[in-house]
């Protein structure tokens, strides 16, 4: 737990000295949404990649496990707690699919899903580098994408309400 604190300290410093000032200049509504997305992404890093900083010196000290490219192999072979893993991967990216469109002037479904896939693929490719206990799996990328789609659908449904809330924050 102590080594993860280093990662959080760096994330806080990045927010305070780089992002906060930049986002605050664009308005309270932009600051609010971008801060929510930043906090969300920090927790994604916590659950998927941390510790990062203290792992960097050791990334080549263990064999890199290649990504499993057989979708849903755990489901097909009945290995492990695949239902839990699929559910958690979907749930993990619902907030991204919901929040990411709010950071764009012209939110697009394809752009949101593309960024969801990039986020997921980045995590999957980095996990085996940072830890020999982690593995990459195409099923995770697929289920993360599904979560992004669900998040975008929720964004589309609640867009009128979100617009009112953001306008209130902006004018407050």
Residue 144 to residue 97: CA distance in whole angstroms: 10
Structural domain count, the chain: 1
Q: Which residues of 24-41 are buried (b: 16+ CB within 10 A; e: fewer)?
A: eeeeebbbbbbeebbebe
Q: Which domain holds residue 135?
A: 2-171
Widest CA span in the chain: 55
Give the contacts of 3 (CB within 8 A, at least 6 positions apart).
Answer: 51, 53, 54
What is the per-residue pLDDT for 116?
98
Q: Other C-beta atoms within 10 Å of 150: how many?
A: 16
- In this prediction, residue 137 has a pLDDT band, given cuts at 50, 70 and 90, of very high
Q: What does DSSP assign to residue 25?
A: T
Instruction: Tell me the pLDDT tens digit for each residue of 40-75.
Output: 999 999 999 999 998 888 888 888 888 888 999 888
What is the per-residue pLDDT for 1?
61
Distance of CA 117 to the CA centre of its chain: 10
Residue 6 to residue 8: CA distance in whole angstroms: 5
Residue 150 to residue 2: CA distance in whole angstroms: 35
Read off the pLDDT of each residue in 147-172 and give the average, rounded to a whole number: 94
Read off the pLDDT of each residue in 97-114 and give the average, rounded to a whole number: 93
Read off the pLDDT of each residue in 134-145 and give the average, rounded to a whole number: 93
Residue 24 to residue 16: CA distance in whole angstroms: 11
């Amino acid at each position: 737990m102590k080594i993860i604190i280093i990662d959080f300290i760096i994330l806080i410093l990045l927010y305070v000295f780089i992002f906060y000032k930049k986002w605050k200049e664009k308005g309270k509504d932009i600051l609010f949404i971008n801060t929510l997305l930043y906090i969300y992404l920090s927790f994604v890093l916590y659950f998927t990649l941390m510790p990062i900083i203290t792992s960097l010196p050791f990334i080549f000290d263990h064999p890199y496990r290649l990504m499993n490219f057989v979708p849903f192999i755990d489901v097909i072979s009945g290995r492990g707690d695949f239902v839990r893993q699929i559910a958690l991967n979907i749930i993990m990216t619902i907030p991204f699919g919901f929040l990411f469109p709010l950071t764009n002037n012209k939110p697009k479904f394809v752009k949101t899903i593309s960024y969801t896939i990039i986020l997921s693929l980045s995590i999957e490719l980095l996990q085996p580098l940072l830890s020999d206990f982690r593995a990459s799996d195409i099923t995770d990328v697929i289920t993360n994408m599904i979560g992004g789609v669900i998040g975008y659908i929720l964004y589309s449904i609640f867009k009128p309400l979100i617009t009112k809330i953001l306008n209130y924050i902006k004018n407050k």
